[in-house]
């Protein structure tokens, strides 16, 4: 009998990282590793790091140190860093953090099992030397599909050592149906799962380092996206969220920039899928046809995760972005004319180099009129290797902190007001969590999300009565109150009455 090998995956950062972790889990399970939830119960703890902003990098380092502590009093024998921070810093991270027994880049993913086995056996796997991954793919998008480059979530095999998936995959592992269809194993039982639509980004926002370590934009083929969605539906998933660095560019390297408009109805038609959500949309790339599909296709959520970042023209140009307050408000008016209940969220950076008080006031004007459901606000800080880090006219830390605090207070107030506007609306809510009677203060507590609420970021729906509700069920409910950005809703209809009767 082969020796028992256990591994735990600790995931930080965005939904794209969650997909990558499930790819790694699929590869490891296919090679005989036993996946466990708690790092303390694992021979190897794999920390999928985030390298986006300073706070995320600190969280990643803390997670690695916490996992390392387990080696003193638990089963854990090795701690390995993967993900964006590991890819971005490589050897530098390995030297600065000797507590990590391995620092693996994206090129190691195809051979993750052998890498972990080497580390677990006391061997050394050299940390990779970081490189600008934009240089690994052709400049022309049309020439990228045939390139042999490691793409997390696409799972191309390493060109020098292709690894075939075993024919007898363990239960719960998705088969790799093509060169870019990854092995995948779910790491939780949530009725929601992310599906990677593409990787990388061709935009050159002056504040963002992501393209340098995630690479240029490359789409997954529609057949692979559909195949993975069908497999997820078989696993009990009811909602899929399409993720990438920029979903509005999907298909440009496949010869059809409107490919998303044709793919969405196909995904919505997959048996078992009740909701399809699209995230990461660029305002400057929004097309009338895409707006139409997002606002009129059954089972496709009228949800717009729009990356505005700011609304003052001078700041946007310094960011190498497009638009202004009035254009953005016109876009929102167009969306809401087609779907009045549409959800809209965005993130913003305050204190960008050269941001004047007038620019700050312009952003406040936009937020006041935009009626966004969710708002993320971040204070500017220099990121290694970005153009903005070289800019002059930097604001002092105190000014950035003051503007951040002011805008965060405003955002909290505005999103609470937007939630109150939804009182009286009837929503289709996907039940995600049910707290049993003996754990809730009064009766059963149930929580879910409506079409305008994405996982983790946009608030939730709190049911007035969770009796008989189960995760994965779509329930019609009427909003009767709010708790900040969260909605309080009462289940409606004959279906709910039947649930109550069945529950006794």
Domain boundaries in the chain? 6-130, 192-421, 425-491
CB 214 within 8 A of CB 200: yes
CB 351 within 8 A of CB 395: yes
Distances from the Cα of 323 to the Cα of 202, 308, 347, angstroms: 18, 9, 15
Q: What is the pLDDT of residue 256?
A: 94
DSSP character at residue 281: B
Listed residue (203, 221, 65, 195) closest to 134, CA to CA: 203
Listed residue (98, 35, 33, 95) closest to 64, CA to CA: 98
CB 32 within 8 A of CB 166: no
* Numbered residues of the known binding site for [4Fe-4S] cluster: 14, 50, 84, 201, 205, 208
Give the three-class secondary structure for 222: helix
CB 476 within 8 A of CB 492: yes
Residues of the chain with confidence (pLDDT) below 50: 1, 157-165, 178-181, 440, 494, 496-497, 499-504
- CATH homologous superfamily of 6-130: Methylthiotransferase, N-terminal domain (3.40.50.12160)
* C-alpha neighbours within 13 Å on the C-beta side of residue 197: 27
Q: What is the pLDDT of residue 457?
A: 86
Listed residue (28, 22, 21, 27) closest to 47, CA to CA: 21
Q: What is the pLDDT of residue 480?
A: 97
Listed residue (14, 103, 86) closest to 49, CA to CA: 86
* Numbered residues of the known binding site: 14, 50, 84, 201, 205, 208
Distances from the Cα of 502 to the Cα of 171, 306, 364, 448, angstroms: 32, 42, 50, 21
CATH 1.10.10.10 fits 425-491, yes or no: no
Give the three-class secondary structure for 273: coil
Beta bridge partners of 448: 431, 461
- If phi > 0 it is left, if psi is from -120 to 50 it is alpha, else beta; for residue 236 that is left
CATH fold of 192-421, please? Answer: pyruvate-formate lyase- activating enzyme (3.80.30)
Phi/psi at 248 (5° precision)? -70, -15
* C-alpha neighbours within 13 Å on the C-beta side of residue 450: 29
CB 422 within 8 A of CB 435: no
Q: What is the pLDDT of residue 445?
A: 84
Q: What is the pLDDT of residue 166?
A: 54
Q: Is the dihedral of CA 63, 127, 196, 32 positive or negative?
A: negative
Q: What is the pLDDT of residue 90?
A: 92
Q: What is the pLDDT of residue 198?
A: 95
DSSP character at residue 376: E
CA 86 to chain centre: 18
Query: Contacts from 435-443 at CB under 8 Å and sequence distance 24+?
Result: 435/466, 440/466, 443/467
Token couple for 317: 């140009």
CB 334 within 8 A of CB 291: yes
The 10 Å CB-count burial string (b at 16+, else e) for 381-399 is: eebeebbbeebeebbeeeb
């Amino acid at each position: 009998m082969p020796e028992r090998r256990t591994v735990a995956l600790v995931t930080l950062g965005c939904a794209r990282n969650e997909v990558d972790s499930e790819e790694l889990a699929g590869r490891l399970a296919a090679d005989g590793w036993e996946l466990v939830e708690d790092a303390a119960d694992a021979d190897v703890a794999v920390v999928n790091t985030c390298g986006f902003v300073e706070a995320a990098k600190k969280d990643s380092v803390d997670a690695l140190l916490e996992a390392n502590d387990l080696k003193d009093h638990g089963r854990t024998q090795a701690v390995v860093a993967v993900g964006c921070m590991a890819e971005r810093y490589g050897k530098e991270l390995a030297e600065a953090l000797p507590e990590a027994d391995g620092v693996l880049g994206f090129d190691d993913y195809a051979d993750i099992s052998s890498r972990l086995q080497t580390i677990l056996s006391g061997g050394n796997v050299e940390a990779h030397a970081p490189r600008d991954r934009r240089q690994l793919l052709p400049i022309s998008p049309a020439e990228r599909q045939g390139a042999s480059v490691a793409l997390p979530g696409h799972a191309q095999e390493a060109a020098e050592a292709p690894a075939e998936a075993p024919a007898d995959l363990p239960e719960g592992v998705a088969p790799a149906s093509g060169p870019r269809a990854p092995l995948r194993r779910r790491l939780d039982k949530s009725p929601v799962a992310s599906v990677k639509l593409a990787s990388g980004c061709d935009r050159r926002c002056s504040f963002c380092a992501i393209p340098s370590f995630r690479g240029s934009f490359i789409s997954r083929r529609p057949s692979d996206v559909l195949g993975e969605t069908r497999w997820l539906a078989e696993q009990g998933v009811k909602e899929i969220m399409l993720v990438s660095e920029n979903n509005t560019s999907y298909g440009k390297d496949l010869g059809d920039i409107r490919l998303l408009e044709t793919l969405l109805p196909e995904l919505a038609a997959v048996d078992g899928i009740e909701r399809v959500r699209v995230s990461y949309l660029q305002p400057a790339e929004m097309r009338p046809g895409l707006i139409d599909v997002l606002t009129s296709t059954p089972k496709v959520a009228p949800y717009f995760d729009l990356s505005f970042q700011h609304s003052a023209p001078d700041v946007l140009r310094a960011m190498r972005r497009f638009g202004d307050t009035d254009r953005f408000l016109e876009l929102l008016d167009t969306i809401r004319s087609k779907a009045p209940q549409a959800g809209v969220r965005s993130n913003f950076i305050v204190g960008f180099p050269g941001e004047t008080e007038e620019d700050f006031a312009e952003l406040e004007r936009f937020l006041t009129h935009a009626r966004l459901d969710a708002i993320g606000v971040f204070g500017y800080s220099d990121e290694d290797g970005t153009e903005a880090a070289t800019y002059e006219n930097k604001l002092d830390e105190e000014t950035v902190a003051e503007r951040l605090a002011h805008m965060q207070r405003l955002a909290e107030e505005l999103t609470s007001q937007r939630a109150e506007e939804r009182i009286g609306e009837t929503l289709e809510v996907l039940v995600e969590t049910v707290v049993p009677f003996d754990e809730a203060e009064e009766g059963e507590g149930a929580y879910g999300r409506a079409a305008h609420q994405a996982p983790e970021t946009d608030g939730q729906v709190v049911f007035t009565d969770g009796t008989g509700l189960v995760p994965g069920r779509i329930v019609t409910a009427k909003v009767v109150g709010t708790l900040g950005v969260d909605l309080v809703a009462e289940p409606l209809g004959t279906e709910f009455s039947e649930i109550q009767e069945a529950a006794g």
